Amino acid sequence: MNWVQIQPALPEIVLACAAMALLMLGVFRGERSARLVSWLGVIVLAAVAILVASVTPTSGRLLLFADMFAVSLYGAFVKILVLGASALGLVMAIGYNQREGIARFEFPVLIITATLGMMMMISANDLIALYVGLELQSLSLYVVASFRRDSIKSTEAGLKYFVLGALASGMLLYGASLVYGFAGSTNFAQLASVLTAKDAGNAGVIVGLVFLMVGLAFKISAFPFHMWTPDVYEGAPTPVTAFFSAAPKLAAMGLFVSVLVGPFGKLVGQWQQVLVLISIGSMALGAFAAISQSNIKRLLAYSSIGHVGYALIGLAAGTEAGYRGVLIYMAIYVAMTLGAFAVVLCMRRGGQMVETIPDLAGLSKTRPGMALVLLIMMFSMAGIPPFAGFWGKLYVFMAAIDAKLYTLAILGVLTSVVAAYYYIRIVKIMYFDEPADAFDRMPDRELGLIQAAAAAFTLLFFLFPGPLVRAAEQAVKSLAG
C-alpha cells in the first residue's frame, strides 16, 4: 500500500495521531494543561476540516482499504459540519469545565476520538467498518456523558447511555449478521448489486434491515428508541449535552442516509414504511412530551427528538430532493441547537448553573441580548418564517409532497403547530413575565460569539441560502453515483 492509496484518508489519520499526541502532551504537562490541550484540539479539528475539503475529489467516490472506506463529496459535506459542530462544542466546554472543577485534558482527547469515530461512520463502505466507527464514537460519548464523575446524575446518564447503547449496538450487529448471512457480503457496493427489488419478499434480508435501522434509530434518538435521550441530556454536563445534540446526531443521520440509499437503495419500498412510522412517532413525541417539561435541557432533548422526526421525512421521501432536505435540515438544526445551548450555558446565578424554564422569566429586561438570541432560536425551531428553521422544514415537506407522502407532510405541519406552543411559551416567559433575579455576567466571550454567530445564521439564512443548498445538492449527487 503506497502513499497515494491512503492519501484520501489523511484527515482521519491526522485526527487519530493528533488525539494521541494531545494525550501525551496532557500527561506530561499535568492536570493544568486542560485549557492548552482543549484549544489545540479546537485548532486540530478546524485544520482537519480544511484537510477534508482538500483531499476530497470533486466528483465520484474514492474507495480505499479494500473498499471499506469511501471518500466522496457527500462524506465531505457531513464531515465538515461534524468537525465544525465538534469544535464549537469543545469551545463551549472549556470555560464551563474550569468553573465546575472538571477541567481535565482527557476531555478534548475524548471529543476528538468521538469525532474520529463519526468520520469513520460517515466514510464507512462496509458493515464492519460502519460498526467499528459507530463503536469508537459511542464509547467516547459514554465516557464524556459521565465526565462529572462525582455527580450521581452524570454517572447515571453515562451508565444509562452505555447500557442502552450497548443494546442498540447488539441489535445493529444482529441485523448486520442477518444481512451478511442472506446476501453473502458486508461490502456496500456488493450488497447494492446483490439486493435487488425482488429481494423485497426475502424475510431474512428485511428482518436484518429492520434491525440495522433499529440500531441507527437509537443513535439519532428517534421514536421509539428515544427513552435514553431526556435522562442523558439532563444528567450530562451542559456543554456535553450541547455536543451530544449536535455532532453525533448529524453523523448518525448522515450514516442513516448513506446506509439506506447505498446498499439498500433498491429496497426503498421496504424501509420507507418503517421510516414513515418512526418519523411520525418522533414528531408527535417531540411535540407533546415537551409541553410538560420544566427543565430546559429536557425540553431541548424532546425538541431534538422532534427535529429528528422532521429530518426523517426527507429520508422517507426516498428522492434526491428528500436527501438534500435532510442535509439542509440537519445543518440548520445544528446551528439552532448550538445557539440555544450557548444561551443555556449562560444561565448562572450566584456561581451556580440553573436550568429550569421559570429561571428565564423576564430575561428581556435583565439580559436583552441573550433573550433576543433565544427568541430567534425558539422562533426558528418552531418553524416561523423567515428564520432558517422554516426553510429547513420547507425543503423536507416539499420533498414529501413530491413523493406523494401527503399524510406524513400534513402530520408534520400539525405537530409543528403543537410544538410551536412550548417554543413560544419560552419567548412569552422571557418577554412578558415578571423578571427573576438577573443572571451572572456572561462567563466567556466565546459563548457570546457563538450565540451571535448562530443568531446571525438563523436570521439571515433566507437571504443567502445558495451556498448551503448547492453544497447539499452536490453532496447528494455523489451519494447516488
Partner 1 sequence: MVLQALAFYVFAAVAVAAGIMVVTARNPVHSVLFLILAFFNAAGLFVLMGAEFLAMILIIVYVGAVAVLFLFVVMMLDIDFVELRQGFVKYLPVGGLIGIVLLVELFVVVGGWVSLPATKSAIAEPVREGVSNTAALGRLLYTKYVYLFQAAGLILFVAMIGAIVLTLRHREGVKRQKIAQQLKRTRAESVQLVKVKPGEGV
Positions 120 through 149 that interact with partner 1 (CB under 8 A): 120, 128-129, 132-133, 135-136, 139-140, 142-143, 146-147, 149
Q: Find out whether 62 and 72 touch, Cβ atoms under 8 Å.
A: yes
Instruction: Specify the stretch interacting with partner 1 by CB under 8 A; choose among 12-20, 255-263, 349-357, 431-439.
Output: 12-20
User: How big is the site for partner 1, counted in residues (CB under 8 A)?
Assistant: 35
Residue 60: phi and psi, rounded to 5, are 75, -175
Contact residue for partner 1 among 16, 384, 418, 452 (CB under 8 A): 16
Neighbours of 326 (CB within 10 A): 27
Q: How far apart are CA 248 and CA 36, in angstroms?
A: 24
Nearer to partner 1, 69 or 333 (CB): 69
Nearest approach, Cβ of 128 to partner 1 (angstroms)? 6
Give the DSSP letter string of 238-292: HHHHHHHHHHHHHHHHHHHHHHHHTTTGGGHHHHHHHHHHHHHHHHHHHHHTTTT
Neighbours of 131 (CB within 10 A): 18
Nearest approach, Cβ of 251 to partner 1 (angstroms)? 15
Q: How far apart are CA 313 and CA 409, in angstroms?
A: 8
Nearest approach, Cβ of 12 to partner 1 (angstroms)? 9
Among residues 158, 169, 90, 110, which one has the least CA distance to residue 134? 169
Degrees to nearest 5, angle at CA 435 with 429 and 436: 100
Q: Does 413 bind partner 1 (CB under 8 A)?
A: no
> Binding string to partner 1 for residues 24 to 63, with x set by CB under 8 A, is what?
-------x--------------------------------
Q: Does 66 bind partner 1 (CB under 8 A)?
A: yes
Nearer to partner 1, 139 or 276 (CB): 139
Nearer to partner 1, 65 or 431 (CB): 65
Q: Does 86 bind partner 1 (CB under 8 A)?
A: no
* C-alpha cell of residue 381: 425551531
Positions 163 through 222 that interact with partner 1 (CB under 8 A): 184-185, 190, 204
Instruction: Specify the stretch interacting with partner 1 by CB under 8 A; choose among 64-72, 253-261, 332-340, 466-474.
Output: 64-72
The rounded Cα 363 to chain-centroid distance in angstroms is 28
Q: How far apart are CA 136 and CA 194, in angstroms?
A: 29
Whole-angstrom Cα Rg for the chain: 21
Q: How far apart are CA 248 and CA 326, in angstroms?
A: 15
Q: Does 69 bind partner 1 (CB under 8 A)?
A: yes
Q: How far apart are CA 292 and CA 233, in angstroms?
A: 16
Nearest approach, Cβ of 347 to partner 1 (angstroms)? 27
Among residues 188, 378, 225, which one has the least CA distance to residue 309? 225
Nearest approach, Cβ of 5 to partner 1 (angstroms)? 11
Contact residue for partner 1 among 5, 20, 197, 438 (CB under 8 A): 20
Nearer to partner 1, 114 or 430 (CB): 114
Contact residue for partner 1 among 25, 62, 65, 189 (CB under 8 A): 65
Q: How far apart are CA 227 and CA 230, in angstroms?
A: 7
Nearer to partner 1, 168 or 346 (CB): 168
Positions 88 through 117 that interact with partner 1 (CB under 8 A): 104, 106, 109-110, 113, 116
- The residues binding partner 1 (CB under 8 A) are 1, 16, 19-20, 23, 31, 65-66, 68-69, 104, 106, 109-110, 113, 116, 120, 128-129, 132-133, 135-136, 139-140, 142-143, 146-147, 149, 158, 184-185, 190, 204
